[in-house]
Amino acid sequence: MFKVQTLNNISVLGLERLPRDRFEVASEIANPDAILVRSADMHKLDIPASVKAIGRAGAGTNNIPIAAMSKRGVPVFNAPGANANAVKELVLASLLLAARNIPASLDFVKKLDGDDKAMHEAVEAGKKKFVGFELPGRTLGVIGLGAIGVKVANAALELGMTVWGYDPAMTVQNAWQLNSGVRQALSVDDLVSKSQFISVHVPLLDATRGLINADRLKLMKKQGVILNFARDAIVDEKAVIEALDEGRLHAYACDFPSNALKGHPRVIATPHLGASTGEAEDNCAVMVADQIREFLELGTIRNSVNFPEAQMPLLPGTTRLCIVNENVPNMVGQISTALAKRGLNIADLLNKSRGGLAYTIVDVDSGETDAAAKEIAAIPGVLAIRVIAAR
Ligand SMILES: NC(=O)c1ccc[n+]([C@@H]2O[C@H](COP(=O)([O-])OP(=O)(O)OC[C@H]3O[C@@H](n4cnc5c(N)ncnc54)[C@H](O)[C@@H]3O)[C@@H](O)[C@H]2O)c1
Ligand SMILES: O=C(O)[C@H](O)COP(=O)(O)O
């Protein structure tokens, strides 16, 4: 029986992918084999030694101590693209809210009083304060052309906008999805200087912290709009407020409210709602639950942010060893020597690496697999090992 701990509410559709005869799932559970999480901050959490995998039912993994998990040989999985449409729709909604000054106009309407005639007169007199602008011909710059950025860029083209994109490490798969009408910016500065609207869709990393800062805001076209549905720290809030107050920036739309932003008339803040649709919650939970199940039952790695992809059919009648080790020479040699010493025949083997980590799946014919596993675990550089018997 595998134990899975949930640190956030995970969609039932996802949890149902873990059959109850083989998986016990609960928010409070001792010695879990795996953790399912959304945005709960795991950096200060004491993650039990029993944990063999972490599944993020979403895209961003900056709430998970990935480097520490890699050192322990624990893969972290996420659900790439599973909530991208939900985020795209919220970005488009915010783009329109900003262009048409809708939040301020709704506040105005809420405060109207008097009889209908008085209200009508106030409406007609007041509406000139909320004159907006239309999108065709305006320029949007999209920083980060991943699952979300590509969808936002393509949708903005459909709305008649001129779209520039920047992503130095775009995947081939995302490049295939991107409309050829999206123009390629040469750098973030190049993109910023061409854009009136800017939408950021990059992960929060050291390299992206403060990506939109005071200098870049000065490069932007006048009356610009920044859309941040990625992570708070990617945009320098202080610089944004300064640009809003000086009238250089028209609006800041973001998914990350803060005290500094609260109540600002030109800030449109939603409470981290990007992925909060039933569809996205189901997609993310199903994807990540399947990946966790395949890892626990078969050692398969799909969509990990710190491990290489690894899939190998489990041969009937064999026992599987899954070994995580430092990516250094002669590890496979030492592993096969330990197996040979116990007279274990290798039926199939897969060895993959990513950065400083290597992962080996080896299926052996029957024999002293537990003893061999113990010997392999003691090889310097081996970080984790599991034995899985074919069912
Ligand atoms: N508001 C929400 O609820 C919500 C929902 C989903 C995702 N997000 C955030 O959005 C981010 C992006 O999500 P995604 O699904 O598109 O991820 P993704 O991994 O598909 O795409 C990220 C893209 O950013 C690019 N990138 C990385 N560093 C860059 C840089 N310095 N300059 C330009 N491009 C860079 C990568 O090459 C990649 O193509 C997530 O990491 C997460 O933080 C927020
Ligand atoms: O990175 C993500 O997927 C989003 O920030 C969604 O976070 P949530 O799962 O807590 O809504």
DSSP for 136-156? TT-EEEEE--SHHHHHHHHHH
- Distance between Cα 86 and ligand 2 center (Å): 11
- Specify the length of the chain in residues: 391
The Cα–Cα gap between 32 and 49 comes to: 9
CA of 9 to the centre of ligand 2 (A): 12
> Which of 272, 281, 288, when mutated, tests ligand 2's pocket best, judged by the most ligand atoms within 8 Å of its CB?
272
Over the chain (391 residues), what is each successive 10-residue block's mean pLDDT? 98 98 98 98 98 98 98 98 98 98 97 97 98 97 98 98 98 98 98 98 98 98 96 98 97 98 97 98 98 98 98 93 98 97 96 98 93 97 92 65
Ligand 2 pocket check for 59: Cβ under 6 Å: yes
Give the pLDDT confidence score for residue 390 in this predicted structure.
Answer: 66
The finding on whether 201 has its CB within 6 A of some atom of ligand 2 is no
Ligand nearest 86 Cα, by number?
A: 1
Whether ipTM > 0.95 holds is: yes
Kindly give the distance from the C-alpha atom of residue 304 to the centroid of ligand 1, in angstroms, as a whole number.
15
Give the residues across from 388 on adjacent strands: 320
Q: Which ligand is nearest to the CA of 201?
A: 1
Alpha helices in the chain (DSSP H): 12-15, 66-71, 84-99, 102-110, 116-126, 147-158, 172-177, 188-194, 214-219, 237-245, 278-298, 331-341, 369-377
Q: How far is the CA of 110 from the centre of ligand 1 (A)?
A: 36
| Residue 372: per-residue pLDDT | 96
Q: Which CATH number fits domain 310-391: 3.40.50.720, 3.40.50.620, 3.40.50.300, 3.30.70.260?
A: 3.30.70.260
274 C-beta closer than 6 A to ligand 2: yes
CA of 287 relative to ligand 1 center, distance in Å: 18
What tokens does 41 get? 């901050």
Fold of 1-82+276-307: Rossmann fold (3.40.50)
Relative to the alpha carbon of 305, which ligand is closest?
Answer: 1
- In sequence order, what are the beta bridge partners of 358? 325, 353
Domain residue ranges in the chain: 1-82+276-307, 84-269, 310-391
Integer Cα distance of 30 and 41 in angstroms: 19
Pocket residue to mutate for ligand 2, from 6, 8, 37, 38, most atoms within 8 A of Cβ: 38
Among protein residues, the one with the nearest Cα to ligand 1's atom 4 is 274
Ligand 2 pocket, 276 CB below 6 A? yes
Q: Name the nearest CA neighbour of 341 among 386, 371, 319, 381.
A: 371
Which pLDDT score is estimated for 30? Answer: 97
Of 78, 192, 201, 303, the residue with max ligand 1 atoms within 8 A of its CB, to mutate for a pocket test, comes to 201
Query: Is the beta carbon of 38 within 6 A of some atom in ligand 2?
Result: yes
Q: Which ligand is nearest to the CA of 57?
A: 2
If you measure from the C-alpha of residue 270 to the centroid of ligand 2, how many angstroms do you get, rounded to a whole number?
13
For residue 171, give the ligand 1 atom closest to its CA: 39
- 208 Cα nearest atom in ligand 1: 31
Superfamily of domain 84-269 in CATH is NAD(P)-binding Rossmann-like Domain (3.40.50.720)
**pLDDT of amino acid 328:** 98
Distance in Å, CA 244 to ligand 1 centroid: 25
What spacing in Å lies between the alpha carbon of 330 and ligand 1's midpoint? 36
Ligand 1 mean position to 202 CA, how many Å?
3
Distance set, CA 106 to CA 95, 126, 255, 260, 363 (Å): 16, 12, 19, 22, 64
Domain 1-82+276-307 and domain 310-391 have a common topology: no
Ligand whose nearest atom lies closest to the CA of 283: 2
What pLDDT shows up at residue 57? 98
The pLDDT, as a whole number, for residue 391 is 65
- Given this model, what pLDDT does residue 389 score? 79
